[in-house]
Amino acid sequence: MSSASGAATAAGTKPKLAIYWAASCGGCEISILGIDTKILDVAAAFELVMCPCIMDGKVRDIEQLEDGAIAVCLFNGSIRNSEQEYMAQLLRRKSKVLVAFGSCAHEGCIPGLANLHDKQAIFENSYQETESTENPQRVRPQTATTVPEGTLHLPVFYDTVRTLDQTVDVDYYLPGCPPESPKIWEAIQAIVAGNLPPKGTVIGSDTTVCDDCKRIRNVKKVKQFKRTWEIIPDPEICLLEQGLLCCGIATRAGCGALCPQVNSPCIGCYGPNNDVHDFGARLMSAVASVIDADNPKDINAIISQGIPDPVGTFYRFGLAGSLLRRSKRPAGSDGGH
């Protein structure tokens, strides 16, 4: 990758790179490391100013930088509390290019499924109801706690998980849970070469996973949806035709059809294709069009038996970023903050 190293300048004047995590699992960082020895090229091209996963770094150092001092910030994770929101705003201000990196930042991902509940229900479950919890005093996290040494602060936990672009202005999106290492490398190369697409672009392919999938496809007619444990699918034929709800039809290509390759249906981690307003709605509409029944009774039976968790199926990665964003909010909630 000569262009990246070629663009690298002497230390000190190297462009600054920040990698930050908010509500996320850490998989995105692992995936960055998955670019393998090319990480050395990244180190040669950039000065890494922040990456809590692998190095120590202080928020105050970032606060002291001039606005726009960071060339690129790869921001993964969704926004679930006030600290993450603050960091998103801070990094936005300090970075020339802010990339929503990975599914959580891009469309909310698994943390976003918490939008089916609210803060109170989540606390009740986590700090009270789980089998392993013993909490007779009903202790709950407090944003401020006074101890002899002074006051301790915890971030405010919000009712609603937001995507990065529902919080701050975002320049690019790198989809995937996590983004696949080759795609990360391609994106970094493009950034280094200054070969950037128009703002707002989702960096990836403009077709869907089926395009990369080698399975044989026929006209689709599904009489029964099956869960993955119910059948051992034929390795040659499209999984959807075999009744496994493969989201590959609606999911942006980029991973190389990893899951269907190993006989497992795509669950949609790369998010929607270009021009799609709402991944779940698109997918539902497509799935609905191949159900092979002609009366409402049979159709209902096929759906209720085969798709017991519609939100988890159609909005597994995209609930927070979807048109509806969350379940109906109970009265008296914090309004998303």
Partner 1 sequence: MAEKVGVYVCHCGSNIAGKVNVEEVAKWAGENLQDVAVSRDYKFMCSSLGQKMIEDDIRGEGLTRVVVAACSPHLHEKTFRRACTNAGLNPYLLDMTNIREHCSWVHRDMDSATLKAKSLVSAAVSRVKFQEPLEPTYVDVNPATLVIGGGIAGLQATLELADAGYHVYLVERSPSIGGHMAQFDKTFPTLDCSACILTPKMSEAGQHENVTLLTYSEIESVKGSVGNFEVKVRKKARRVDYDACTGCGICIEKCPRKVVDTEFEAGLGFRKAIYTPFPQAVPRVPVIDADSCIWFQRQKCRACEKLCPTDAIKFDQEDETLTLNVGNIILATGWKPFECRDIPQYGYGRLANVYTSLEFERLCNAAGPTNGKIVLRDGKTEPQSVAIIHCVGSRDVRHNEYCSGICCMASLKFGHLVLEKTKANVYSFYIDMRTNQKGYEEFYQRLLEEGMHFVRGKVSEITDAARMPNEQGKLIIQCEDTLMGRQRRIPVDMVVLMGALEPQSDAKEMGLKCGISCSMQGFFTERHPKLDPVATMTDGIFVAGACQGPKDIPASVAQGAAAAARVQGMITKGKVMVEPVVAKINEEACSGCRICNNICPYNAIEYDAERGVSHIITALCKGCGTCVSACPASVISGAHFSDQQIDAEIEGVLWDVIRPKSAVVSAN
Smaller CB separation from ligand SF4, 7 or 276: 276
The single residue among 19, 184, 192, 266 that binds ligand SF4, judged by CB under 6 A, is: 266
The token pair at 53 is 């996963």
Provide the residue type at 321 as one letter: G
- From ligand SF4, partner 1, none, which one binds at residue 70 (CB under 5 to 8 Å depending on kind)? none
Q: Is residue 322 classed as helix, strand or coil in its secondary structure?
A: coil
Q: How far is the CB of 85 from ligand SF4 (least distance, A)?
A: 27
The single residue among 79, 114, 174, 239 that binds ligand SF4, judged by CB under 6 A, is: 239
Smaller CB separation from partner 1, 45 or 284: 284
Q: Which residue of the chain is nearest ligand SF4 when measured via CB?
A: 248
- From partner 1, ligand SF4, none, which one binds at residue 107 (CB under 5 to 8 Å depending on kind)? partner 1
Smaller CB separation from ligand SF4, 72 or 259: 259
Backbone phi, psi, residue 23, to 5°: -75, 95
Instruction: Specify whether the CB–CB gap between 103 and 269 falls below 8 A.
Output: yes
Interacting residues toward partner 1 by CB under 8 A:
100, 106-107, 165-170, 173, 200, 202, 206-211, 217-221, 238, 240, 248-250, 253, 271-279, 282-283, 285-286, 288-290, 321
- Closest among 103, 111, 34 to 79, alpha carbons compared: 111
Smaller CB separation from partner 1, 4 or 87: 87
The single residue among 248, 272, 318, 321 that binds ligand SF4, judged by CB under 6 A, is: 248
Dihedral sign, CA of 199, 201, 202, 204? negative
Between CA 13 and CA 71 the distance in angstroms is 11
Helices (H), 225-270: 258-261
The single residue among 77, 112, 243, 260 that binds ligand SF4, judged by CB under 6 A, is: 260
Q: How far is the CB of 175 from ligand SF4 (least distance, A)?
A: 8
Segment 172-231, which members bind ligand SF4 (CB under 6 A)? Answer: 209-210, 213, 215, 217
- From ligand SF4, partner 1, none, which one binds at residue 242 (CB under 5 to 8 Å depending on kind)? none
Torsion angle of the four alpha carbons 19, 21, 25, 26, in this order, in degrees rounded to the nearest 10: 30
Provide the residue type at 90 as one letter: L
- Closest among 73, 75, 113 to 97, alpha carbons compared: 73
Q: Which stretch binds ligand SF4 (CB under 6 A): 114-122, 127-135, 256-264, 325-333?
A: 256-264
Instruction: Specify whether the CB–CB gap between 24 and 111 falls below 8 A.
Output: yes
**What is the helix, strand, coil percentage profile of the chain, to 5?**
35, 15, 45
Q: How far is the CB of 203 from partner 1 (least distance, A)?
A: 11
Q: Is residue 328 classed as helix, strand or coil in its secondary structure?
A: coil
Half-sphere exposure for 217 (CA within 13 Å, toward CB) = 13
User: Is residue 282 a contact point for ligand SF4 (CB under 6 A)?
Assistant: no
> Which residues in this chain contact ligand SF4 in the complex, by CB under 6 A?
209-210, 213, 215, 217, 238-240, 246, 248-249, 251, 255, 257-260, 266-270
